[in-house]
Amino acid sequence: MSNAGRECIGYRVGTVEIDLRRACVRVGGVETALTPLPLKLLTLLCEHAGSVCTRDQIFDAVWPRQEISDDALNKLISRVRELLGSEAPALVTVRKQGLRLDAAVERLLAPPVANVPASAAPPSAAPVAATPVLAVPPRSRPPYVWLAVGLLVLAALLTLVYAPRSGPATSC
């Protein structure tokens, strides 16, 4: 089957899986959310695996049309190394040149869409991803949110009970 026309949805570098759709990285089954800058840098490095990405290429890909310090790039590279965990040694700094990802990179492609006539398939039928997806429990509100809501309700009730009443002053 041809890969032509199939969307790249992520990359696999050793034990690290980079999910472009969900903006996260999975290392040894542990998922960590990615902010936009590490995601852009990882994508660039995966697309150019084995080749040196110059500092100018990195600046253009990560911070287009912005003047950013070398210190910001160094901090970003450190953050990406942290995210890569055991695969961090694959991220090599080439002195006076740039950065290179020395690892085999596997492109993860979206599942192919079957060529079924529009009249034959119901509109709700969607292809199922071939990539294994980790089960993530549904998000519930953290306990401190409920505590804050409770405190606000308590403050409103106390304001109603103890607020000075306006109106004509009467003496007993």
Q: What is the SS3 assignment for the chain? A: CCCCCCCEEEEEECCEEEECCCCEEEECCEEEECCHHHHHHHHHHHHCCCCEEEHHHHHHHHCCCCCCCHHHHHHHHHHHHHHHHHHHHHEEEECCCEEEECCCEEEEECCCCCCCCCCCCCCCCCCCCCCCCCCCCCCCCCHHHHHHHHHHHHHHHHHHHHCCCCCCCCCC
Does the domain spanning 8-109 belong to CATH 1.20.1290.10? no
Per-residue pLDDT of the chain (172 residues), as tens digits, is 556 668 888 999 988 999 999 999 998 888 999 999 999 999 999 999 999 999 999 999 999 988 888 899 999 999 999 999 888 999 999 998 999 999 889 988 888 766 655 555 555 444 444 444 444 444 455 566 667 777 888 888 888 888 776 656 555 5
* pTM over the 0.85 mark: no
